[in-house]
Amino acid sequence: MLELYGTSLRSRLLLGSARYPSPAVLTAAVRAARAEVVTVALRRESGGERAGQGFWSIIRGLGVRVLPNTAGCHSVKEAVSTAHMAREVFGTPWIKLEVIGEDDTLQPDVFGLTEAARILCADGFEVFPYTTEDLVVAERLLAAGCRVLMPWGAPIGSGRGLNNLFGLTALRAHFPAVPLIIDAGIGVPSHAARALELGFDAVLINTAIAQAGDPAQMAAAFAQAVEAGRAARLAGPIEPRDLAAPSTPVIGTAFRG
């Protein structure tokens, strides 16, 4: 079981709700993924607007836990204000905190992120910060009160997978007891399996599923990949070697002189 802020989850696959071609396709993908947590950006939801209420009704009907998102925020003030509105609209202390610092890569502004996290944690929010693999930033976020970290694998929507294996592996090793969720950049199920094999606790997928030719089929593939990656991690994979190691013993075998 995956535990996030005291909530136990069976699934280690979290889904974003943006960019799906239709509500019906989103519904089918969430069900195929067997996801228990779905992120919703308040700006897309539009709070009290009629279209927003319709979207929110669809999410409620899925029976999932909502993780509101401050997507599109570029400052501490904007992110904190959006988080407060999200808590009021969705009725949850959970918030996926994004403070974007660079438009081309959508890289987090880690300075603004840690400040916003400090403010929101002090105000009773349970913060899921979208961050980098930087160890110092991770320490600052944990000191601010975060109990979950969401490092990127690659830029949002890029589909490039896990760009910095060394940094991500170091992050996992430095914080063995902290739930770590790979957020952003995963493009295919093998990327998700690799993340779980490395010891990450879950992955959050949006674009790779929403923009697939068949989102529901891709969601099912990601669900299988996450389960396979987690099972492999628990099974204890062998360490990579520089030289070949025969799988069949040679001692005692017949040979011709």
* Residues classed as catalytic: 96
User: Please, where are the H alpha helices in the chain?
Assistant: 23-33, 42-45, 50-61, 76-90, 110-122, 135-144, 165-174, 189-197, 207-210, 215-235
Residue whose token pair is 């969705």:
90
Q: Name residues whose C-beta falls within 8 Å of residue 222's C-beta, 6 or more positions apart in sequence.
A: 13, 33, 189, 192, 203, 205, 208, 209
Look up residue 180 and give its DSSP letter.
Answer: B
d(CA 250, CA 146): 54
**206 vs 185: CA distance, rounded Å:** 9
Give, in order, the Cα–Cα distances in Å from 108 to each of 67, 70, 83.
18, 12, 16
Token pair for 34 = 């067997």
